[in-house]
Amino acid sequence: MGDKESAGGPSTLSERSLCDSQAEMGYGTTRPLERVMASCGPLTSAELASVAADDVPNGGVLCALPALLSEGLLRHTRSFYRLPAGFYPLESIFLALALLALVRCRSLEQSRYLSPGEWGKLLGLDRLPEVKTLRRKISALCAQDGKAAQWQSRLAGEWMAGVKSDSVGLFYADGHVRVYHGSLTELPRRYVARERLCLRGTTDYWINGLGGAPFFVLTQPVNPGLIAVLRQSIVPRLLAQAPQPEAQALKANPLLCRFTLIFDREGYSPDLFAELKAQRIAILTYHKFPGQDWPLAEFAHHSVQLPGGQSVELKLAERGTRLSNGLWVREIRELSATGTQSSILSTDMGLDLIRIAARMAARWSQENFLKYMREHYGLERLIEYGTHPLP
């Protein structure tokens, strides 16, 4: 980035507002020469230039810029995407979308009510692109078939490889229904737990790490169910991208697993458990048919440290259990203060029951992630109005 307009000291909000309103090419277009050159062809894109400015609304959002860059926001953009020559460079579009999301601007339409000139200072340009310009740029990016999936896949691989050592190989899978209330098409109905109703919509399957950090998401317009999605999409992708032990380590230790999948009762399937165990993939889930309660004398107090660092006292017990298909698994039960027993199944024979209980309790971090994204980032909003034929 360069540095402009700093010779006379930082500008004030009133000075910038006056300058923006007097711009000849429209509000906030204070770099007219570069815009003319971009429209005529000599300039492929404008330079991102920082300025000295006081009282910039939403200026604090720039404190998140180092985190965005470290997570890879601009790391591979030039490798996967191209934009036609124009005033706004590719990086400015990605930055604009990321920063708008951080200030809880849930749609491009809402950006109409932001000061374009002030947002231009945050982006290193003269003004924020108009809504129609952003839509045109996004359409151009989305028209590049397969690039979005490749970009997401590259970042997901880096995120999975970069987790802390105690979190490597832990993947939480859960479905989230985006309810559709329109009339363009009749999507299949599916049960929405938070509404306790069967509503029309699409299902997104999120894969998160320990603590709720998202890795990737798979959208299913026609949802075959978690068991089928695990078999057909999630497991093959994790086998291709997730960090795994070396072949020699797997050969030397027959109890060592490639990674662990953690999900709720929707994924309960003894046949699936057996298939995954044959691939050296461990599962952690709730027992769908736990049967009778165990005697209270089997439960013992254990101090369990949760991923957030808190320590809680839990009453735990363990047995071996043979499922309907003959598969032998571990069954861990937790006794609550009200006397309710929660049954957890695991095919990881090398993990102690305390860590199993902690990892299962951490599943709520994924639920909290989805709730937070729904409330603050418009997770359920429609991306576009329109329909596409299913293949």
User: What pLDDT, in 10s, does the model give residues 94-148?
Assistant: 999 999 999 999 888 999 999 999 999 999 999 999 999 999 999 899 887 888 8
Classify residue 294: in a domain, yes or no. Answer: yes
pLDDT at 15: 93
Residues 93 and 211 in one domain: no
pLDDT at 56: 93
Is residue 223's pLDDT more than 70?
A: yes
User: In terms of residue numbers, what domain contains 182?
Assistant: 150-376
- Record the pTM: 0.87
Residues 92 and 154 in one domain: no
pLDDT at 3: 46
Report which of residues 193 and 214 the model is more confident about.
214
Residues 250 and 325 in one domain: yes
Residues 17 and 165 in one domain: no
pLDDT at 385: 59
Is residue 1's pLDDT more than 50?
A: no
Last residue of a domain, one of 142, 175, 197: 142
Residues 183 and 273 in one domain: yes
Residues 132 and 157 in one domain: no
pLDDT at 390: 61
Classify residue 381: in a domain, yes or no. Answer: no
Classify residue 391: in a domain, yes or no. Answer: no
Is residue 242's pLDDT more than 60?
A: yes
Last residue of a domain, one of 75, 110, 142: 142
Is residue 240's pLDDT more than 60?
A: yes
Residues 138 and 154 in one domain: no
Report which of residues 165 and 282 the model is more confident about.
282
Residues 138 and 156 in one domain: no
Residues of the chain with pLDDT > 90: what percent?
Answer: 70
pLDDT at 216: 93
Classify residue 334: in a domain, yes or no. Answer: yes
Residues 9 and 137 in one domain: yes
* Beta carbons of 184 and 387 less than 8 angstroms apart: yes
CATH number at residue 241: 3.90.350
Residues 53 and 84 in one domain: yes
User: What pLDDT, in 10s, does the model give residues 327-336?
Assistant: 999 999 999 9
Residues 83 and 206 in one domain: no
Per the structure, the count of domains in the chain is 2
Structure-token pair, residue 232: 């057909």
Classify residue 390: in a domain, yes or no. Answer: no
CA gap 129, 363 in Å, rounded: 40
